[in-house]
Amino acid sequence: MLQMIKIRNFALIESAEIPFESGLNILSGETGAGKSIVLDAISLLLGGRANSEVIRSGSDEAVVEGFFDIEKLDWVAKRLQEVGLENGGSDLLIKRSIHRNGKNRIFINGELATLSMLQTVCDGLVDLCGQNEHQSLFKAAVQLDLLDRFSELLKKKEKVREQYLKAIALKDEWEALKQKEEERVQRLEFIRFQIEELNEAKLEPQEDEKLLEEKKLLQTSEQRMGLANQIDSALDGEEGALNSIKAALNKSRSLSQIDSSIEELHQSLERAMAEIEEAARLARHYAQAGDLGNERLVEVQERLSLITNLKRKYGQSIQEMIAHHEKLAGEIDLLENLSSRLESIETLFHKEKDSGVKLAKDLFTQRLKGAEVFSRAVAKELKELRMQDAKVELLLSFEKDIALWGADSLGSEITLEVQTNLGEPQKPIQKIVSGGELSRLMLAIRRVISNHGGIGVYLFDEIDTGLGGQTAFTVGRKLKSVAAFNQVICITHVPQVASFADHHLSIQKHTQKGRTVTEIQVLNAQGRREEVARMLGSEKITQAAIKNAKDLIDSANL
């Protein structure tokens, strides 16, 4: 149920809070007063496209907020969960702000949301029935949904849909595998070539880094050996440090025999002698081992060249190439076992398909039964709406090929055919020309499904246009009966319809401080009588006019 909408700086409305109640809510007012503004505001809350032109002149932002009671609509909570939003319990709060700079915002239960999320959550929350919505009845999916709602088949349809989607997923996988089977031999040959090339390479992690370091050493071999020899000569040559230390050590030995206090000096020289001898030995060993020749350098360069070529094919690093090798190994395993996998998927697909077809046939049978009852019920409603000769028929056929199904049809093909006048042929609904006939058909359909739940709000936008007298009074009674099970919001110019209101709102336009503004007023009992009197065409709201309005309202409530 829509509890309230708040509007600020939207078209001609500067600021308004519009409360709605359960039952039949009537919105009336002079032509051009702004009833369409309220409809546009509600459409915006349901996911309609925002346009900066709706922002009130002189303002930078328009804001529309809606408060819905969704306690009896469990599917809304599921939708919120699907799009990743918090469940607000029994409340659904929607806010949309439109800025002139294009920075529009959508909030659902206080969380920032996208237009797609809003449309997903609100799809089906409000059933909008108006002159512009007639074409929705032309769609087979809409006709099937109405039939399933009337026949209480929504849960069964959902079960069939789940089975259908499971079968289709297997079908898609099977077809993808069949295509792979056709490409399998060529792909296997190519993968085996790649795996063999990588196997022969015997790559090791960080091998290229180690080889680059080795290459650098090999390319500086002569320079390094020369420096090592120079170190050896400086330490152990004729004039090297080792001979000097030996001479000093001999002198310290002689001196220590004279003065024992220099023993520490003597020991220090002995340690220095040992260190220099070791350093000289290491330098000679380095110089002798450093000359590895050009043979190893060639090997390293060839190995690096191989790795570089492989990187161009299989990855930017050795680690990436090793990972690619593992991926290829997994793919070749899949391809080598493709035939058995294909056979397994095919068997499973046919099993799930047969199960889906069986469930769909059962659904189709139930739809056939429901279609007869639905057609009779709608025709009865049309007769009461002064279409005495109207006949309605839902024609159904079953499509066996699951590949041709849709997620809504589930094998059932449907056509809604109507005969509106005696002697005329029965024909598909889209070939009905009269807008008035379509309006009454829409009302009749909503009437017969009104007590089957699932809809939050029925919003009727001037579907009584062109009707009057007793027919208009009957339309009002039908709307009232729909409102017994659902909240109904009806925008009307017809007093007979307005007389059935449980909650009446008057939309008025006037001038304030040199500007045109639209205001919405909740009418009390006296206000209702005056508004209905105006709608009856009274030039002046006299006591006689008010009495006529009262009599009409009283008749509606008998």
Do residues 120 and 212 both lie within one domain?
no
CATH number of the domain residue 79 falls in: 3.40.50.300
Do residues 214 and 332 both lie within one domain?
yes
The pLDDT assigned to 453 comes to 64
The pLDDT assigned to 229 comes to 75
The pLDDT assigned to 127 comes to 75
Backbone phi, then psi, for 491, in 5-degree steps?
-95, 125
The pLDDT assigned to 492 comes to 86
* Cβ atoms 252, 244 nearer than 8 A: no
Name the residue type at position 357: V
**Is residue 247 situated within a structural domain?**
yes
Which of the 8 DSSP states describes residue 21? -
Quote the CA–CA distance of 266 and 351 in Å, as a whole number.
99
Do residues 198 and 329 both lie within one domain?
yes
The pLDDT assigned to 518 comes to 82
CA distances 404 to 284, 352, 486, Å, are 87, 16, 36
The pLDDT assigned to 142 comes to 82
Last residue of a domain, one of 336, 369, 395: 336
The pLDDT assigned to 317 comes to 86
The pLDDT assigned to 132 comes to 55
Model's pTM, two decimal places?
Answer: 0.64
- Tokens read off for 217: 């050493």
**Is residue 533 situated within a structural domain?**
no
Strands (E), 177-271: none
| H helical segments located in 114-206 | 115-122, 140-150, 154-201
Last residue of a domain, one of 478, 493, 514: 514
The pLDDT assigned to 165 comes to 92
Do residues 98 and 227 both lie within one domain?
no
Do residues 105 and 240 both lie within one domain?
no
The pLDDT assigned to 429 comes to 81
How buried is 270 (Cβ within 10 angstroms: 0-12 exposed, 13-18 middle, 19+ buried)?
middle
Q: Which residues contact 242 (CB under 8 A, 6 or more apart)?
A: 235, 236, 273, 276, 277, 280
Do residues 121 and 198 both lie within one domain?
no
- For the chain, helix, strand, coil in percent to 5 are 60, 15, 25
Instruction: Compute the half-sphere exposure of residue 329: CA atoms within 13 Å on the CB side of its CA.
Output: 10
**Is residue 355 situated within a structural domain?**
no
Do residues 242 and 322 both lie within one domain?
yes
Q: H or E element: which one contains 322? A: helix 318-336
**Is residue 455 situated within a structural domain?**
no
**Is residue 157 situated within a structural domain?**
no
Do residues 193 and 329 both lie within one domain?
yes
Do residues 33 and 119 both lie within one domain?
yes
CA 435 to chain centre: 36
**Is residue 139 situated within a structural domain?**
no
Do residues 90 and 206 both lie within one domain?
no
The pLDDT assigned to 207 comes to 81
Q: What is the pLDDT along the chain (558 residues), one digit of tens a residue?
A: 899 999 999 888 888 888 999 889 999 887 766 677 888 888 899 888 888 888 888 888 999 999 998 887 888 888 888 888 877 778 899 999 999 888 889 999 888 998 989 988 888 788 777 655 556 677 888 888 889 888 888 889 989 999 999 999 999 888 888 777 667 777 878 888 888 888 888 888 888 888 887 777 777 666 777 777 777 777 777 667 877 888 888 888 888 778 878 888 888 888 888 888 888 888 778 777 665 556 777 777 888 888 888 888 888 888 888 888 888 888 887 777 777 778 888 889 999 999 999 999 999 999 999 999 999 998 888 888 878 888 888 999 999 888 888 888 898 999 888 888 777 788 888 777 566 677 778 888 888 887 776 676 888 877 766 666 777 888 888 888 888 888 888 888 888 888 898 999 988 887 877 777 788 889 999 988 988 888 888 677 888 888 888 888 888 887
Q: What domain range is 280 assigned to?
A: 189-336
Instruction: Return the C-alpha torsion angle 355, 357, 362, 368, nearest 10.
Output: 170
- When divided into structural domains, the chain yields a total of 2
Quote the CA–CA distance of 245 and 250 in Å, as a whole number.
9
Q: H or E element: which one contains 8? A: strand 2-10
**Is residue 277 situated within a structural domain?**
yes
Quote the CA–CA distance of 48 and 45 in Å, as a whole number.
7
Which of the 8 DSSP states describes residue 238? T
* Cβ atoms 298, 158 nearer than 8 A: no
How buried is 371 (Cβ within 10 angstroms: 0-12 exposed, 13-18 middle, 19+ buried)?
buried
**Is residue 78 situated within a structural domain?**
yes
- Greatest CA separation for the chain: 150
Task: Quote the Cα angle for 66-67-72, to 5°.
Answer: 130
Put the strands of the sheet holding 2-10 in their side by side order.
13-19, 2-10, 61-69, 91-99, 105-108, 111-112
Do residues 223 and 95 both lie within one domain?
no
Do residues 83 and 208 both lie within one domain?
no
Name the residue type at position 504: H
